[in-house]
Amino acid sequence: MSEPQYVTISRFLGLKTVVAADKLGLEEAANLENIECSTDELRVRDGYKRRRVARVDGTRPILGAWRVVKASNLQAQELLHTRDKFWRFSGSAVASVTGAYVFTSGHAHTVIVYDNKVWGGNGVDTGWSYSFAAAKLKSDSTPSQAFRYQEAFEEKRVFGRGTTDKSRFEWTDEGAPTTRQALAFAFYPPDQSDDLTLMRALNGEIILASQWRLGKTVGGLPPRAIVDIHLGIGCVSHYSSAVLNGWLYFVGMAGRIYRTDGNAVEDAALGLDTSDISIATPRMLRGVARDGRYYDLSYNSKAAGGTFPNRVLTYDSWRDRWYGPHVIGGAGKPGAWCEWRTPGDTGQIRGGTTSGYAATWWSGNSDAGTTIVGIYKGPIFHAPSPTYLKLIDEMEIQGDDITSGTARIGLYLDRKASASTVGSVALKASGVVEGDRDATTVTRTHLYVPRKATVNMTCREYQPKIRLVGKGKPTVSRVVIKAKIIRSN
C-alpha cells in the first residue's frame, strides 16, 4: 500500500542544516537557502545586480548607505559612506560630497532628514549636515561632546550616547535644529551605571536601552519621567535595531531577536535557532522596507568565518515567518550590509558591496550573472515502527509556468551526509510530460509530474531535499513522495 506524504512548510527553525528529530515537526523546514515561501509554495529569491559599473572609491568597501528624501519637493538622493568619505549618486554619476569636512574612519554614522537637510554623526567627531542643493558636508556645532545617535522627534533633533557621558541624551529647541538645550538632557539608566546602546523614536516616545535594560520616555520632550519597560533584556547596539509597522526590533546580548511596541517585549524569533549568528559585530540587524513588509537580518556566520556578512535572513512580519539564509557571495557581498532607506520607492534594495561597488539587490534572475540555486531541506519522515522499512516508490511535483529551469528532488536516507537523487523535472511551459506514464507533448500553465524513483531506495527514515534552478523565479507549489511500507525481517 503506497503512503503519500505531502511536503509542506510551516516555519523555518534556524540556520543549522542538521536539526534533531525531536525538535523538528512534520511541517517544518530544517533549512531554506535562497528560498522564500508562502503558505503553499517554494520560490527562489530575486537576485542582485550592480547599480554602477565603476567602483565608488577604489577598492574600499561601502560601509553605509542611505536613501534620503527632501520633504519640500520629494527630491530623493542616495548617500554612501566609505571609510573617510561620503558620496552621492546622481543619474549615472558618483561624486564625493565630503568637501572640507574631516572625520575619523572606522566609526559608523547615524543619519536623519530634518528641515530639508541631512544630519549625521559618528559619536567621535563633530557632527555634519548636508544640503541637497549645496551637495557638500558641513560641520555641525556640538555644545559639549559628540553624540553617536540621532533621531527626529516632535520637531526636534534628538541625540544619544555622548563621547564622555555614554548614558546621556539631549535635544534641540523645537523647529531650531542647530540650537541645543544645554540643560534639557536626561540619562538612561538614571543612575548612569551603563552605556546607552539604543535610542529610537517609537509610537510617540523615545525608546532607550542599555545592554541589559530597556526603557522609554513618558510625556514627550522634555519627559515627565523615564520608566523601565524590561529589566534583564537590553540591546546589543543601536545599529542592530529597526522599526517596522509600529514595532521596534532589536538584538539582545544573548543573540536573540526581540521586539517592543513601547509597552511589552516579545521574542521575535521564537523557535529560530540563532546559534550561528555572531553578535561580535554591532551591525548585524539591518532594517529595510521591501514590498512594504520585509526586513532583512544579516549576520556573520561563525562557520564561514568571513570578514563581511554573506548571508541574510528575511523576516515577513505579515506572516511572522523567517526565510533564508539567502547566500550572497562573490564580489556582490554587501559591505557590512548597508543601512538602506527605500520604503515607497521601487521595492529594490540599494547599497554597496565589500569591493566598493554600488549595487541593487533583489532584482533580476541571477546574482550579477551567477545562477541562483534554491535549496529546501524538509522534515524527517519516520517509518511507523523500527521493524518496518520505507521503500521510496514515486514522487510528484507541481510548479508554475516559468521560462526555464529544473526542480530536482533528493532524499537524505537514514541521516546520511549526502542526498540520493530521486528525479529531476524540467519546469517548461511546453514539452513532454516528464515521467514514465505519458510521452505526449502538451502546453501547460502548471506542472504535475509523476516520476519513478531512479534507484531502489529503502530506509527507516528520510529527509527530502528540493533543489530549484532556473530563470523567472522557479516556483514549486507541491511535492508528494510515495513510499511503500515493508517489513525489515
Query: What is the reported pLDDT for 459?
Result: 86
Phi-psi region of 155 (alpha: psi -120 to 50; beta: other; left: phi over 0): left
- Residue 62 and residue 75: Cα distance in Å, rounded? 23
pTM of the entire predicted model: 0.83
Query: What is the reported pLDDT for 47?
Result: 80
Query: What is the reported pLDDT for 381?
Result: 82
- Residue 51 and residue 360: Cα distance in Å, rounded? 5
Query: What is the reported pLDDT for 21?
Result: 47
Query: What is the reported pLDDT for 372?
Result: 86
End-to-end Cα separation, the chain, in angstroms = 18
Query: What is the reported pLDDT for 450?
Result: 55
- Residue 157 and residue 147: Cα distance in Å, rounded? 12
Number of neighbouring beta carbons within 10 Å of residue 425 = 24
Could you tell me which of 301, 280, 270, 283 has the C-alpha nearest to residue 16? Answer: 301
Query: What is the reported pLDDT for 235?
Result: 94
Query: What is the reported pLDDT for 73?
Result: 81
- pLDDT, tens digit only, all 489 positions of the chain: 456 666 665 556 565 544 454 555 555 667 778 887 766 678 888 787 777 767 888 878 888 888 888 877 877 788 888 888 999 876 567 888 998 888 998 888 999 988 889 999 999 998 999 988 877 899 987 667 899 999 999 999 999 999 999 999 999 988 888 888 777 889 999 999 999 999 999 999 999 999 999 999 999 999 999 999 999 999 999 988 888 878 999 988 877 889 999 999 999 887 777 776 666 666 667 776 665 556 666 665 554 556 666 777 778 777 777 777 788 765 556 665 666 555 555 666 777 777 788 877 777 778 777 888 888 888 788 877 778 888 887 777 776 655 667 778 888 888 888 888 777 776 665 555 544 445 555 554 444 445 566 566 788 888 888 888 877 667 777 777 888 888 776
Query: What is the reported pLDDT for 326?
Result: 81
Give the torsion through C-alpha atoms of 49, 55, 56, 60, to 10 deg. Answer: 110
